[in-house]
Amino acid sequence: MSKTIPRPAKRPRRTDTSSPATAAAPGRGARHFAIIGAGMAGIACARTLVQAGHQVTVFEQAAAPGGRTATVDSAFGSFDAGAQYFTVRDPRFARAIDTVPGLCKPWSANNVRVLDASGRVTSPGLLSREAHWVASPGMQSLVATWAQPLEQAGRIQLNAQVHRIERDSLNPTGWQVRTEGLGGSQHVYAGFDAVLLSQPATASQALLAKSAIDSTLTPSLAKVAIAPCWTLMLAYPQAVRPDLATLGPQWNVARSTHHRIAWLARESSKPGRGSVERWTVQANPAWSAEHLQDSEARVQAKLLKAFAEVTGLRAEPAHAALQRWTYAQTTHALGKSHVWDASLGLGACGDWCLGHRLEDAFISGLELALAVK
């Protein structure tokens, strides 16, 4: 087992100072923040803190930033396995989107049908006046682009699962973070003034308990409920023929009252996604919870059967894959943008603070950073 104790430099490395993620060097009062989780909330928080002149280290257990905006690649094209689209209501989110011109594009999915268990339209559509936006070439691209300056500056530790946070062995008022990496490697990162948890509320609650930390964060985290979701991804390359525009239904997105399926989207209808017909199917939260521990083969068979019942598309897909989200959609939000225990230097953020929209995650991370900086 290897153990390293990296300590922050007195000043963070500087690259392009025009980027919000690599702003001017810190002045007096600059601090070093550990941020656990590199999804939308974590990256928004990190960017804001660096812009204010602080130093950050972001820990992410996956191989890339993005969280539930994950884009899954296949031989037939990509799938947005988590967040399907986003809307923009807060002017601060709009301004942030403007920093990456051309990366986000409108998706013509405003008229969302509601289908019964047999695929019959029970409502002509949920007409939304809000634009549905997607990042291109995949939903993960937005967070990944914002995270890139942080990665280039060495501020993101990937494949690093945090299993404990504790007081710094050399500074009783500071913090250190213990991680496990690929191959079971163990590392200790020290020298943090505060730790900010940007992960599902249940996961943050478990980390605090495992770390034997008694914080005012715990009661707030316990109030939140987040439902799981099984996601099925299907590809039908046989639909790409001059005389056949689509193999299945003539709509691109729908909500379903089927007891297994809640959402269906034709990935190939999104801008910049490629022409091979691909579908992302998200299971009903209650059904997902009931079958969360089932084998992938069983879940795939059941969801594929339900997909055929709803869409009438009974052809064998050339590609089928599953993604299990243990924490997918907030069913009971915290009701405020973040939590911050100033006495301990611990905070938490995530979409679950405000709801389940991607913008909720951004606002949560932004406002936590503003509260602590």
Q: pLDDT digits over 322-354, tens only? A: 999 999 999 999 999 999 999 999 999 999 999
pLDDT at 171 over 70: yes
Average pLDDT over the chain, rounded to an integer: 88
What is the per-residue pLDDT for 213? 97
pLDDT at 11 over 80: no
Q: pLDDT digits over 200-209, tens only? A: 999 999 999 9
Q: pLDDT digits over 143-161, tens only? A: 999 999 999 999 999 999 9
What is the per-residue pLDDT for 13? 31
Mean pLDDT of 23-46: 83
Q: How confident is the model at residue 18 (pLDDT cuts 50, 70, 90)?
A: very low
Mean pLDDT of 73-91: 96
End-to-end CA distance of the chain: 36
Q: pLDDT digits over 278-325, tens only? A: 999 999 999 999 999 999 999 999 999 999 988 888 889 999 999 999
pLDDT at 235 over 60: yes
Higher pLDDT, 21 or 123: 123
**CA proximity to 35, closest of 249, 338, 264, 348:** 348
Higher pLDDT, 127 or 265: 265
pLDDT at 264 over 90: yes
CA distance 262 to 255: 6
Contact of 186 with 178, CB cutoff 8 Å: yes
Q: In what order do the strands lie in the sheet with 339-341?
A: 156-157, 55-59, 32-36, 194-197, 346-348, 339-341
What is the per-residue pLDDT for 15? 31
Question: Strand pairing of 253-256 and 261-266?
Answer: antiparallel
Task: Give the residue ranges of DSSP H helices in the chain.
Answer: 40-51, 91-97, 140-152, 201-210, 217-222, 285-290, 296-311, 358-372
Higher pLDDT, 3 or 209: 209
What is the per-residue pLDDT for 314? 87
Handedness of CA 292, 225, 231, 264 (dihedral sign): positive
Q: pLDDT digits over 98-134, tens only? A: 999 999 999 987 556 676 666 666 665 555 578 899 9
Q: How confident is the model at residue 251 (pLDDT cuts 50, 70, 90)?
A: confident
CA distance 319 to 341: 47
pLDDT at 16 over 50: no
Query: Three-state secondary structure along 125-157?
Result: EEECCCCEEEECCCCHHHHHHHHHHHHHCCCEE
What is the per-residue pLDDT for 249? 76
Higher pLDDT, 11 or 126: 126
Place of tokens 């094209």: 77
Q: Distance from CA of residue 30 to its chain's centroid? A: 28
What is the per-residue pLDDT for 128? 59
pLDDT at 5 over 50: no
